[in-house]
């Protein structure tokens, strides 16, 4: 059997981490520094949601901000420096029914391990427009807390009718000169209190029964800028052009938890359930951290913090297990 640079057999690890956003890479750093030589399945889109962000100004330690992809790159290098290893493949199947735990990659290769840290993150839902993709990170965003600051004194559009849209619209009024909230129906899905807060905010203009057909913008010397959106009233079919500098899609998030359906406990929206103040799931040796188990804070720094918790929980679990096994051996 082939050995890795850490001298471990390739297909058994003490710690396997699935997912490589701030949660996964922080878990990798901590477990690597605990000499656990974690193997990180980074997936085919390594780095998570920060890879589609441009400047990150709210990650502590970077006085002048840092580009999202660069932040993920240094996090990965920091974890690798202490012995973490990355595999750029997706995990397609897990079997947590017995010990050792088993995970199988997209090429059918099976790995066994003593602990799994799940940090598969969440994905923002997108409307699905070509122009939404084109201007992503250049005026199109799904995170007001991350990107609202870039639109000081400018007009922005928020799309959605749930609590996320109300929250994002209200938050953006701190920076923007005007927030245009666009919803596809004549009724919001959001809770009454959040609706009232948005409706009562003089900086928010609400446009109902309207869908976005196209995000408008310019591209000069490779520099893309959002300038507005072409929208259509679904009742009258009338089309209008709205000016804006920022466009926020706020139609919800989806935790990347399908792989664990029927195996790990999750809430009705698919977020993994962990024990209070812990990263422990319902299965012994399996821990969860980051946005796949957090639909409330959803920040890079909170994800990183929970990745640290998961690594410490895994390390303590392994220590206890090894101690118990040594007692059994001593008795035999
Ligand atoms: P949500 O409740 O599912 O609402 C999504 C909204 O986006 C809906 O209004 C939906 O329209 C609209 N939408 C979906 N797909 C669309 C598309 N392709 N084009 C245009 N609009 C589209 O999602 P959420 O707002 O993210 O909330 C998710 C959960 O988190 C909820 O339980 C919510 O209460 C909770 N949450 C709570 C807070 C808080 O308490 N502070 C903050 C955020 C979220 P339709 O209504 O027509 O379907």
Reply yes or no on whether 147 is catalytic.
yes
Q: Is the CB of 163 under 6 A from ligand 1?
A: yes
Which pLDDT tens digit goes with each residue over 148-200? 999 999 999 999 999 999 999 999 999 999 999 999 999 999 999 999 999 99
Atom 31, ligand 1: residue with shortest CA distance: 163
Single out the catalytic residue among 73, 105, 113, 143: 143
Single out the catalytic residue among 113, 114, 146, 244: 146
Atom of ligand 1 nearest to the CA of 127: 18
Of 144, 161, 162, best ligand 1 pocket probe by most atoms within 8 Å of the beta carbon: 162
pTM of the predicted structure, to 2 decimals = 0.79
Strands (E), the chain: 12-18, 39-41, 55-56, 66-67, 85-87, 91-95, 101-105, 110-118, 122-124, 140-141, 155-159, 178-182, 204-207, 210-220, 223-233, 239-243, 246-249, 253-255, 286-288
Q: Is the CB of 290 under 6 A from ligand 1?
A: no
Q: State in Å, rounded, how far the first CA of the chain is from the last one.
A: 30
Q: Give the model's confidence band at 60: pLDDT under 50 very low, under 70 low, under 90 confident, else very high.
A: very high
Q: Is the CB of 252 under 6 A from ligand 1?
A: yes
Of 132, 143, 157, 164, best ligand 1 pocket probe by most atoms within 8 Å of the beta carbon: 164
CA distances from 234 to 136, 140, 188, 216, 311 (A): 25, 23, 15, 19, 50
Task: Say what the pLDDT of residue 201 is.
Answer: 98
Tell me: pLDDT of 47 over 50: yes
């Amino acid at each position: 059997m082939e050995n890795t640079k850490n001298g471990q057999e390739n297909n058994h690890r003490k710690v396997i981490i699935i997912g490589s956003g701030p949660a996964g890479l922080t878990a990798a750093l901590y477990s690597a520094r605990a000499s656990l030589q974690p193997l990180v399945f980074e997936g085919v889109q390594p780095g998570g949601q920060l890879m589609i962000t441009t400047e990150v100004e709210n990650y502590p330690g970077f006085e002048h901000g840092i580009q999202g992809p660069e932040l993920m790159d240094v996090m990965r290098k920091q974890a690798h420096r202490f012995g973490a290893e990355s595999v750029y493949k997706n995990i397609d199947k897990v079997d947590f029914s017995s010990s050792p735990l088993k995970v199988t990659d997209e090429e059918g290769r099976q790995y066994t391990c003593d602990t799994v840290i799940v940090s598969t993150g969440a994905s923002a839902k997108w409307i699905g427009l070509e122009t939404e993709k084109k201007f992503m990170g250049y005026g199109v965003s799904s995170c007001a807390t991350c990107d609202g600051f870039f639109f000081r004194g400018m007009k922005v559009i928020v799309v959605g009718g749930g609590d996320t849209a109300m929250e994002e619209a209200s938050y953006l009024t701190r920076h923007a000169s005007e927030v245009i909230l666009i919803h596809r129906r004549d009724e919001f899905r959001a809770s009454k209190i959040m609706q009232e807060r948005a409706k009562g905010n003089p900086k928010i203009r609400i446009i109902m029964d309207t869908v976005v057909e196209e995000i408008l913008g310019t591209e000069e010397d490779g520099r893309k800028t959002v300038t507005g959106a072409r929208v259509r009233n679904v009742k009258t079919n009338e089309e209008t052009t709205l000016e804006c500098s920022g466009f926020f899609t706020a139609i919800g998030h989806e935790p990347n938890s399908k792989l664990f359906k029927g195996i790990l406990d999750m809430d009705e929206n698919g977020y993994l359930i962990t024990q209070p103040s812990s990263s422990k799931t319902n299965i012994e040796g399996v821990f969860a951290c980051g946005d796949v188990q957090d639909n409330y804070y959803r920040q890079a720094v909170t994800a990183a913090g929970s990745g640290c918790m998961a690594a410490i929980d895994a390390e303590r679990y392994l220590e206890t297990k090894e101690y118990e096994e040594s007692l059994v051996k001593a008795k035999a």
